[in-house]
Structure 1
């Protein structure tokens, strides 16, 4: 290991945001895989910019190893509107890699695997970047970084706009990539799959921990337990000192001054209460036996078919995950259940007692002209929370908004705060069916944990469309997949089942494409062709076995959730199996180029 970056007593702040980092000193090794976590606004992105030297600290020093190659994916992209995918992804990368002309990019399986892995196989090289969606532009920029060689890869929210399969592919790709990695993401599964160290940005400091998200969570819990024990002893001493000081005016005047000073110091040392989110169970309207019955439903999004003759029943208390690639129709299905859209054919019957609440991905539906408290009161002025009745202001405080913050205009809230307000307004209406479309967008890891704590005990029906594997596996009981063929497929194995089926579809698509693109003359002799086909079949069987192994390891992880030593061992096995699967898939793709479909 060799040190490539050092931060020496670095401080950074901004006028409106205030001080974010103070006297931070840390180093990054050439093989480090660091996940950066912390509350929204704590300074995570600022830390990444300091590491990349795209910003200078207010004080202190950031030093790089000589000739250090740093590749950075910021949250805000600046891609020329008239640039093409070829310009951004290929471009000068071929000069750096010592390759030939640009048109030879198709001969490099590594580049093609990156484009396909990020779900951009449908984009042509000559597609203009300007008209693309924000998600597509971000994936193009990410592909450009992954194509290039670098000593340090700095990624700010790389999993945004990636589906479950895309996140899984990116994790496996980064595990096989050389060089250091520093990543900010709220995707807890990704942090565990990729990172071997965690930096927590909190209270203007950066604390380093060994291990990924799970190890950091366990370590932080232990740190809080120790701190709680210390605080309990301090409070006990405080009570004794105060009682001693209150034993009558005559006695107090004769007390030694150092005892009075000690008590005053204890009183003055009470730490401020942090702005935490405590989500507790809200009242819900009683739900009857019927929730949703779909009978031979056909659903389209414009001219695109989503469902073809679907018959499906959702009952009370069902906790369902909807999985699928971007554009597969997850949002369209939720909008159908919410009553926003209607089926092209068939019938949707909604139970008479159903009071649904739809959390969309759009934040523009929030009333930007109102203040935060007014936006809550617009839905409900009083809400039942457990056995208490709260005002709108008290409910906002439960969701982590301080007295000062509740008078902030909605238009001035951060993305994470606006998402939290959106959820607050949703639950204030006391629904009994939750329809959640990417509920984890813009939420930090602590708020995500609070949200999951709430959803764990949700007494109604819940249908979640999300790419957040951690949330899906924690709060839902059953999963269904949309694969673009008009069916809603039950997935008994959950996310792993979805990934295995999706990989099979992708391999089938590659094989079909190769069959169409491969000329009749392959350059192989008849004997070589037979052997290549045998090798392809062997690799496919190997992939199947690896998928089964990964599924069993994930089941073991669930069974040994309280055994930290066993968890570490299983995590290592999982990473090894995922890395092997990636290597086998690459070997299959390279061989498939040479073999036409028989």
Structure 2
């Protein structure tokens, strides 16, 4: 039995409906990723599901016993409330019922006793007598301190408190709108695991492609008012979506060709009009109407950036730098060299010192100790995740142009309206005050402002927040083509993997190391898991012994047990590859996705597990081969 069911639902706030007669169903235990371009109506659909927006047409049904909770996109305020009170706000109804019950508990008249009886039944149905235990259980699970004030917490910890207010309700359906915004990578992975362990249904909107890949059991795309469901992983969604777009383009081209033929026919000479077929005329009118009602797919942003003259080969050189803040060490004996063309990602928990290191590299902050040498001819453009560079009272145009009618992009004058259209701002939207923009529009505006400035060093602090996936992927392409230097702070794992050439990782206890490659490359190269690296550091002697042990062992031949394992791996790899090919052939069949939804999901899950098994076997074979060669 479904939890929520929408049939023929339409919602419109303008000429083009955001939801155009959509059908949608959420079943127990599903984890549905809702994707689509900024402004497509994803938040509106979630509000319809939650009962906050009423449909213009169609029906919305909810299981009468369902409990729905939502994690809002905006962070809770950094005010003087205690964390306990913020989490307990999720049980506001329970608290009100208990307060009402206690207010009546001193009265003995019949009417009061009847009210108390009704309140008691309602409280028992909501498990309201165990409010304190429920709150404390969630606090423990999320690692939150009940007595800490919200003003003392970082954005990531405030997000945890907001999640606690949702989870304490024990919802059957949890709605998440961009849940990873303002979270560091460690917290994102923690949230991912919490959601995987969660037994209720989840409907979530996220630009984090790795989160969608790992979490979603089904992907639903909202495009031009229509919903399309894609079973399987994000990678499979991309493949199917590309095929659908190609089919749509081909069908539209065939339709337009036929329409053009009919238009030529209707405009023929006198003789043709005498023998004109009235049915054909009516069909032409219908085709004209159908063409006028076609909703074209919203274009993707056409981003380009204005590159300045080349900087010197050296951008910055740091030698034995030490830095602390409020008595807490952030950098200890840290050295690195930044050269022209480097694309460096900074990875670490919120508050670990990433912004401090950026300011040192740019010469904006003197370290407590050590030497910093800066390069020459540097033109720096800075992307601020907090949007402090935007004036909320001014229009989109004024925030970019500064009163000019045009901007100079790579030596070519562009009218400001034309330039902003590249970032998906219509002429009307370009005249809108910034305070009326959505989060995604604000980030696109920041990019438009950033890329209108000549620069050979880009500093990007969380540029991916609120961007739709298509714009995010286009941004990746632009950054890869940029010939200058990029310093990138991001908690988007796939974005880091796709863009950076090296990663500077804050591993805890002021230990900062540089690794070749992106996030996954760091995971492969790091000496130990993050939670161990953040634990108490080993004494220098123990570290030396730990480093020497594997070298001594590698000088010997493989043990009998390891040799047997190595000998058996080729056969296991061959079997795993054969099974994977069989599954891939099954999922590539033309009629595969027309099968029963549960059967499709089961096969896709088996395929995913087989891919992981093959990768694990391959990694083990490479590891043992390397050990044998060293021996």
TM superposition score category, shorter chain reference: 0.7 to 0.9
Whether 2:153 is the aligned partner of 1:126: answer no
**What is aligned with 1:544?**
none
Distance of 1:405 and 1:292 partners within structure 2: 40
CA contact (8 A) 1:35 1:183 kept: yes
**SS at 2:514's partner residue?**
strand
- Choose which of 268, 272, 284 in structure 1 pairs with 2:307: 284
Aligned length in residues: 518
Could you say if the C-alpha distance between residues 12 and 469 of structure 1 is closer, same or farther in structure 2, counting changes exceeding 3 Å? same
Matched-pair contact (CA < 8 Å) for 2:316–2:361: yes
CA separation in 2, counterparts of 1:464 and 1:17? 40
Deviations 1:218-258 (A, max 9, x none): 22211110011112223333444455556667766765565
Relative to 1, partners in 2 of residues 1:156 and 1:91: Cα closer, same or farther, differing over 3 Å?
A: closer
Report the RMSD for the aligned CA atoms in angstroms: 4.0
For the 8 Å contact 2:507–2:534, the answer to whether it is kept is no
1:461 paired with 2:516, answer: no
What's the secondary structure of 2:455's corresponding residue? coil
Question: Conserved in 1, the CA contact under 8 Å of 2:192 and 2:215?
Answer: yes
Deviations 1:85-117 (A, max 9, x none): 2344479989978998958998x7x863x324x
Cα deviation per residue 1:403-437 (whole Å; 9 max; x = unaligned)?
Answer: 22222233333222221111111111131221110
Cα separation, 2, equivalents of 1:328 and 1:574: 36
Task: Report the more deviating stretch, 471-480 or 206-215.
Answer: 206-215
Is 1:483 the equivalent of 2:482? no
Q: 1:68 aligns to what?
A: 66
Q: Residues 250-288 of structure 1: CA distance to partner in whole angstroms, max 9, x if unpaired?
A: 766765565566556555515455442333544422424
Q: SS of 1:234's equivalent?
A: helix
Give the aligned partner of residue 29 of structure 1.
27
Of 364, 371, 380, the residue aligned with 1:356 is 380
1:134 to 1:506, Cα distance in 2 relative to 1, 3 A = closer
**Structure 1: segments with no counterpart, 5+ residues:** 513-555, 579-598
How far apart, in 2, do the equivalents of 1:436 and 1:18 lie? 35
Q: Is the 8 A contact 1:338 1:357 kept in 2?
A: no
Q: Is the 8 A contact 1:74 1:156 kept in 2?
A: yes
2:142 to 110, 115, 128: 115
Distance 1:493 1:285 in 2: 26
Moved more, 69-78 or 96-105: 96-105
Quote the residue 1:581 is aligned against.
none
Q: Could you tell me which residue of structure 1 aligns to residue 254 of structure 2?
A: 233
In the TM superposition, what is the alpha-carbon distance from 1:344 to its structure 2 partner? 3.3
Rg (Cα) greater in structure: 2
1:140 equivalenced with 2:161 (yes/no): yes
Asked if the contact 1:281/1:457 (under 8 Å) is kept, the reply is no
**Equivalences for 1:417-566 in 2 at 5 Å?**
417-492=441-516, 494-496=518-520, 504-507=529-532
Deviation, structure 1 residue 376: 2.5
Distance 1:167 1:577, change over 3 A: farther
For 1:384, the equivalent position in structure 2 comes to: 409
Aligned mate of 2:42, from 17, 41, 44: 44
| Change in 2 beyond 3 A, CA 1:129/1:366 | closer
Q: CA deviation at 1:502?
A: 10
Give yes or no for the alignment of 1:372 onto 2:370: no
Distance 1:379 1:431 in 2: 21
Cα separation, 2, equivalents of 1:511 and 1:285: 46
- Of 493-502 and 428-437, more deviation after overlay is shown by 493-502
Using the TM superposition, give the Cα deviation of residue 439 of structure 1 relative to its aligned residue in structure 2, in angstroms: 0.2
SS state at 1:291 partner: strand
Q: CA deviation at 1:202?
A: 2.7
TM-score under structure 1 length normalisation: 0.75
CA shift in 2, pair 1:407/1:69, >3 Å: closer
